């Protein structure tokens, strides 16, 4: 082909399942673990649509969902109406074949058949079919059992009748597929699937869900509550519900001094990136509280958003998502009048329970004071190069302990509101303080000291600890407020990097803190095992080797569950208390340093955390003894 000219014969039209195979990312977001699991969500969503819609007696068309994963092969079965299998006269094809292999085909464009549905575009089934090495459908309806099979989106066995069943026999659809590993070769993740099925169970408490994962994990999910997904707050949990023909809302929310978390769903789909429904909720609450609480302070929208925990379920006709993966809702909801109805329901609740408003008012004021403090001190730091601030003026960031006895005071340095909220709920308020960092902070080994001294995150951290920059080590620590400073980060690479940022800062600028034995590292676990998913304690493991050794020797029942903790925020308050916070059960590592080691330690910190990426690459490759690591993979922020 001459690249300077495009001729008519070279224009291609992709038909059927050819498009998804050529450009899979367009349909499933990515060709990694997330993309692979999205294929499963598509099939599950179709089954959920049968449960979400009701027959003439007001009962769901389906009340059971079964998922099996064995050696990479997936089977999803429901007892709904079954996909139509008759001959479609308009398109001169079998209806089942049409739905499985043609994009934008299906019955969900008709509100008489589906009032609400997650399947919107008629894309999910053909995409899963296209990206599967083997794909089959078994459908029971109209007194027959139908079967068809495809390979890489191409039909191998046309729709045919396997056998007949009696009139009135149970109906349903069973989809079986094995993802084409030439497109996606990631593994199925039990934790991801289990979390999603728990959410589905909370949204559909009367749907019986069963998961059989590989050879040894069988889990049933049934009769869970949407409220169980809501984090603990400082107010009671508030429930509001609105049911209209065009939409249904179920909402649980509370307010908290220590956590902010929003979980939302639209037609059973997890909208983990939020969208217009979440914004509508936040703005409606903002409007209500502005009117009812009448703050003297110049509070803003952000002061009301912070501290709000909610679980929002919205059922909506014709939802519009930002992409095929449906992570974010984009509908203009003003035409539905939802905000006005929600405002009225909120008003009714707080007329009945006015005392809750007082707590929310305190939380909003606290958020306002913290925001004002941060804004003012950012200006001050930039202008004057402030090196010490009063720790009493750190609202929100610092949750202090009550004891005045220095030897009994300890502080956990955590990163992010989710982990911070969990630590605050888990701690002993008399002896244990929590300070929340806002993500990765400045790498002090890569910047001049004058820049480090003016960095707002570092300045506020030092204020919380009661230490300051000074040439005299004694003066640096003369106002130290805690006898134990515990660096508490996630057990993943990001968490390790944040831990190194702390060690770099304290090791180079405040070594006396380490020499005198004040600095510690928390040791949160990486895995937890329950022998019975529904009851019993966890057994915790701190690395892969520990887990592997246990699994090789333990005789676990089929009902056991393995949970990987990707972050502190994934643990509930009890887990965090037992594994990381409680003095009786936690593991701590004391960071040790001798005065004579200071020159050598400073050199090592500079090697690993400084600006010279080339020397760092050489060190890492020598340690690994493997292939050369690309420079971009070892650049540190």
Model confidence over 339-370: pLDDT tens digits?
A: 999 999 999 999 999 989 989 998 998 888 87
Position 522 confidence tier, pLDDT thresholds 50, 70, 90? very high
**CA dist 401 → 55, 406, 409 (Å):** 57, 11, 7
Fold type of domain 18-221? Heat Shock Protein 90 (3.30.565)
Can you give the pLDDT at residue 630?
43
At residue 62, φ and ψ (nearest 5 deg) are: -135, 145
**CA dist 482 → 385, 401, 435 (Å):** 25, 10, 12
Q: Say if CB 118 and CB 45 are below 8 A apart.
A: yes
453: helix, strand or coil? helix
Fold type of domain 226-362? Ribosomal Protein S5; domain 2 (3.30.230)
Position 628 confidence tier, pLDDT thresholds 50, 70, 90? very low
Q: Tell me the average pLDDT across 254-267.
A: 87
Can you give the pLDDT at residue 210?
92
- The CATH number given to 385-524 is 3.40.50.670
| pLDDT surpasses 50 at 386 | no
Position 637 confidence tier, pLDDT thresholds 50, 70, 90? very low
Domain locations along the chain = 18-221, 226-362, 385-524, 525-564
Instruction: Quote the CA–CA distance of 15 and 130 in Å, as a whole number.
Output: 11
Instruction: Quote the CA–CA distance of 112 and 548 in Å, as a whole number.
Output: 53
Model confidence over 451-506: pLDDT tens digits?
A: 888 787 888 889 889 998 888 888 889 989 999 999 998 877 778 888 989 999 99
On whether the pTM is more than 0.75, the answer is: no
Instruction: Quote the CA–CA distance of 246 and 336 in Å, as a whole number.
Output: 8
Cα Rg, the chain, nearest whole Å: 29
Q: Give which of 227, 240, 226 is closest to 344, Cα–Cα.
A: 240
User: What is the 8-class DSSP label of residue 321?
Assistant: B
541: helix, strand or coil? strand
């Amino acid at each position: 082909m001459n690249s300077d000219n495009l001729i008519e014969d070279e224009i291609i039209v992709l038909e059927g399942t050819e498009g998804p195979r050529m450009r899979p990312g367009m349909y499933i977001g990515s060709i990694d673990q997330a993309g692979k699991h999205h294929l499963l969500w598509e099939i599950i969503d179709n089954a959920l649509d049968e449960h979400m819609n009701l027959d003439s007696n007001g009962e769901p068309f389906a009340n059971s969902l079964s998922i099996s994963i064995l050696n990479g092969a997936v089977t999803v079965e429901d007892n709904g109406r079954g996909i139509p299998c008759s001959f479609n006269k308009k398109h001169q094809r079998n209806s089942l074949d049409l739905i499985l292999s043609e994009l934008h085909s299906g019955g969900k464009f008709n509100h008489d058949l589906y009032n609400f549905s997650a399947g919107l575009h008629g894309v999910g089934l053909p995409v899963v079919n296209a990206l599967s090495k083997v794909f089959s459908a078994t459908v029971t309806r109209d007194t027959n059992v139908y079967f068809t099979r495809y390979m890489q989106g191409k039909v191998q066995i046309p729709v045919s009748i396997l056998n007949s069943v009696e009139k009135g026999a149970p109906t349903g659809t069973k989809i079986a597929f094995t993802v084409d590993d030439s497109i996606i070769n990631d593994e199925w993740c039990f934790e991801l699937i289990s979390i999603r099925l728990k959410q589905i169970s909370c949204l559909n408490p009367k749907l019986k869900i069963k998961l059989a994962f590989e050879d040894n994990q069988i889990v049933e999910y049934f009769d869970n509550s949407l409220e169980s997904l809501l984090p603990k707050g400082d107010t009671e949990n508030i429930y509001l519900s609105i049911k209209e023909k065009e939409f249904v809302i179920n909402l649980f929310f509370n307010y908290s001094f220590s956590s902010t978390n929003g979980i939302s769903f639209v037609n059973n789909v997890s909208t983990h990136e939020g969208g217009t429904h979440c914004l509508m909720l936040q703005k409606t609450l903002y409007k209500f509280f502005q009117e009812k609480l009448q703050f003297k302070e110049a509070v803003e929208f952000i002061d009301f958003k912070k501290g709000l925990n909610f679980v929002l379920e919205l059922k909506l006709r014709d939802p519009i998502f930002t992409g095929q993966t449906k992570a974010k809702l984009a509908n203009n909801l003003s035409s539905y009048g939802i905000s006005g109805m929600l405002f009225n329901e909120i008003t009714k609740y707080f007329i009945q329970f006015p005392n809750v408003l007082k707590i929310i008012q305190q939380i909003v004021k606290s958020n306002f004071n913290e925001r004002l403090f941060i804004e003012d001190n950012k200006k001050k730091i930039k202008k004057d190069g402030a090196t010490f601030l009063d720790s009493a003026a750190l609202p929100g960031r610092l949750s202090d302990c009550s004891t005045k006895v220095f030897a009994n005071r300890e502080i956990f340095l955590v990163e992010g509101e989710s982990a911070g909220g969990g630590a605050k709920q888990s701690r002993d308020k008399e002896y244990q303080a929590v300070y929340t960092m806002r993500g990765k902070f400045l790498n002090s080994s890569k910047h001049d000291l004058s820049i480090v001294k003016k960095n707002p995150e570092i300045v506020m951290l030092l204020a919380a600890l009661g230490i300051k920059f000074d040439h005299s080590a004694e003066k640096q620590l003369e106002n130290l407020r805690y006898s134990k400073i515990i660096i508490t980060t996630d057990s993943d690479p990001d968490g390790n990097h944040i831990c190194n940022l702390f060690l770099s800062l304290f090791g180079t600028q405040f070594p006396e803190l380490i020499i005198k034995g004040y600095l510690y590292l928390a040791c949160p676990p990486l895995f937890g095992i329950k022998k019975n998913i529904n009851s019993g304690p966890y057994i915790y493991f701190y690395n892969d080797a520990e887990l592997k050794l246990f699994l090789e020797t333990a005789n676990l029942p089929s009902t056991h569950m393995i949970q990987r903790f990707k972050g502190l925020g994934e643990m509930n308050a009890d887990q965090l208390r037992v594994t990381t916070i409680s003095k009786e059960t936690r593991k701590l590592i004391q960071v040790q340093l001798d005065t004579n080691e200071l020159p050598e330690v400073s050199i090592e910190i500079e090697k690993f955390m400084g600006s010279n990426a080339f020397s760092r690459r050489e060190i890492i490759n020598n340690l690994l003894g493997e292939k050369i690591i690309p420079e971009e993979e070892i650049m540190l922020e």
